[in-house]
Homo-oligomer: A and B are copies of this chain.
Amino acid sequence: MLFRERTDVGKAKEMFLAEIKGMEKTELLPATSSIGRVLSTSILAPRNVPHYRRSAMDGFAVRSVDLMGASPTNPVMLQVTDEVIEGTCAPVNTGDCVPDDADAVLMMEDTISIGDMIEIRAQVHPGKNVGEIGEDVRKNEIIFNKSHLLRPCDIAVLASLGINNVKVYAKPIVAIIPTGKDLLPLPGDDVPPPGKTLDINSLMIGEYVKKWGGIARYCDIVPEDKQLIEDIIKANLDTDMIVVSGGTSVGDKDYVPAVVEKLGKKLVHGVGLSPGKPTALGVADNVPILCMPGYPAAGLVALFAFGKSALRKAGNIPDIPETTIRATLSGKIMSREGYVSYARVILDGDIARPLMTAGAGILSSIAKSDGFVIIPENVEGYEEGSKVDVVLIE
C-alpha cells in the first residue's frame, strides 16, 4: 500500500481540529443529571453564602468592645444569656447565626465557665470567628464559568445554592459508518464464514463515543460502492461528526477519501501513525469526518489519536490529560522512523511488557494490552529497561 503523502500526526490533528467548531445547541437539564456535561452559560450565585452571619466555632458570641483590655491579670466576666447586650454573651455552635449585636465568637476553650458566667482572659478582634454575609459566595458572583465541566462536587455546590436546573451543551452526535462487503452485523452467535468478518468496529467506536461524551448513531454496513458511500455520508451531514471505518487504504475499492474530497474537503490521507497509516481526515458541511482503518487495532489507535480530541472539541468538552503510568520496559520496542508508533504493552505493576504479536489486524493485541507506549517520530524505539510513560487504554 503506497501513499503519496504521509502527514505528521501533530500536523494532521491540528488541521482536523481547526475545522471543528464547538456546538452551539444547548439543553436545560436537572442539575443532578448534568454530571459530565459542559455549562453553556456562566452561573451566578443567586444568593449570599452564608446569607446570615455564621459562627465558625463552637463557643460564645460576644461584643468585642466588652472585652477591651481583658488579660490574665484583668479578666472580664460575661453573663451567659440568649441575647447579646452589654455585659452578656450567648452560646453558639458552629454554623449558628451570630446574634445581631455580637461581633465576635470566642472559642469554648478560651473561656472558663463559672456558674452562669464565663471568665475571659484575652481581648478579641471584631469579626473573630464570624463568617460575614457573602464571605463564602457573594450574591451574583460567577460561581461557575461557561464551558465548565460539571463534577459531582459541583452539583453539590449548585444544590446548596438552590440551583436545580442548568443549561449545558447538547451532546455531539456521531454517525458511525462501517464499510466493507465482507462485514457482517453483530451479534455474531454463529461463527462467520471464512472471508467474512463481524463488524466489531461500530460497537467499539460507539462505546468510546458514549464514554467520551457523545451520542452514537449507528449506520448499516455499506459495501465498497462509491455512490452508496456518498449517499450515507450525505445522509449523516446533520450530525456533529462522522466516523467511517474501513475503505480508506489505497486499494481499488478504497473510495472513502475520494468521496470526502467530493463532498467537502479532504485534509489528510495517510498519516505518520503506526498502526493507523491509512487514516484520512476531512470535513463536509462543517461536519468533521474521520476515516479510520478497518483493522481493529489500527482503528483503535486512529480513534485515540484523532477521534477523541475531535469529539471533545465538537462538544465543547475540555480535553483531560490521559492517565499514564511510569513503567520500566521488560523488552525492547521498535518503531518506524517518521511514524508516531503506538506500541501495545501489558502492565504488571510498574513493569511494561511489550506485546509481541502487535499487527494491526491482530485482535488479541487489543484484549491483552493495558496501554500504549507512544513513540515519537524521531525516536527509533526504546531499549529493554527504559523508563516509559504508558498511556492506559481506557
Taking a contact as CB atoms closer than 8 A, the residue among B151, B156, B194 that contacts A200 in the complex is B156
In the complex, are the beta carbons of B143 and A162 less than 8 A apart? no
Taking a contact as CB atoms closer than 8 A, the residue among B203, B323, B357 that contacts A32 in the complex is B203
In the complex, are the beta carbons of A367 and B157 less than 8 A apart? yes
Complex: A47 Cα to B324 Cα, angstroms: 33
Complex: A362 Cα to B144 Cα, angstroms: 15
In the complex, are the beta carbons of B190 and A162 less than 8 A apart? yes
Q: Which residues of B contact A54 (CB under 8 A)?
A: 194
- Is A123's beta carbon under 8 Å from chain B? no
Q: Which residues of B contact A194 (CB under 8 A)?
A: 51-52, 54, 96-97
Binds B, one of A15-23, A72-80, A181-189: A181-189
Complex: A182 Cα to B97 Cα, angstroms: 12
- Is A332's beta carbon under 8 Å from chain B? no
- Is A225's beta carbon under 8 Å from chain B? no
In the complex, are the beta carbons of B151 and A357 less than 8 A apart? no
Interface string of A126-151 (1 = CB under 8 A from B): 00000100011100000110000001
Q: Known: A51-B191, A58-B251, A157-B367. Is A323-B321 also a contact (CB below 8 A)?
A: yes
Complex: A28 Cα to B35 Cα, angstroms: 28
- Is A343's beta carbon under 8 Å from chain B? no
Taking a contact as CB atoms closer than 8 A, the residue among B156, B164, B182 that contacts A95 in the complex is B182
Taking a contact as CB atoms closer than 8 A, the residue among B35, B159, B189, B208 that contacts A164 in the complex is B189
Complex: A392 Cα to B318 Cα, angstroms: 13
Taking a contact as CB atoms closer than 8 A, the residue among B52, B58, B188, B363 that contacts A157 in the complex is B363
In the complex, are the beta carbons of A137 and B211 less than 8 A apart? no
Taking a contact as CB atoms closer than 8 A, the residue among B97, B135, B137, B393 that contacts A153 in the complex is B393
Taking a contact as CB atoms closer than 8 A, the residue among B95, B135, B195, B203 that contacts A97 in the complex is B195
In the complex, are the beta carbons of B162 and A189 less than 8 A apart? yes
In the complex, are the beta carbons of B300 and A153 less than 8 A apart? yes
In the complex, are the beta carbons of B195 and A152 less than 8 A apart? no
Interface string of A14-58 (1 = CB under 8 A from B): 000000000000000000100100000000000101011010101
Q: Which residues of B contact A296 (CB under 8 A)?
A: 153, 156-157, 160
Q: Which residues of B contact A152 (CB under 8 A)?
A: 203-204, 207-208, 211
Q: Which residues of B contact A32 (CB under 8 A)?
A: 203, 207
Q: Please give the distance in Å from A232's CB to the nearest CB on chain B.
A: 21
Interface string of A200-213 (1 = CB under 8 A from B): 11011001100100
- Is A116's beta carbon under 8 Å from chain B? no
Complex: A197 Cα to B161 Cα, angstroms: 11
In the complex, are the beta carbons of B367 and A144 less than 8 A apart? yes
In the complex, are the beta carbons of B182 and A164 less than 8 A apart? no
In the complex, are the beta carbons of A198 and B367 less than 8 A apart? no
- 8 A-B pairs within 8 Å (CB atoms) are namely A35-B207, A56-B361, A136-B362, A152-B204, A153-B367, A155-B204, A160-B296, A162-B188
Closest 8 CB pairs of A and B: A152-B207, A97-B194, A156-B204, A52-B194, A156-B200, A157-B367, A160-B200, A153-B366
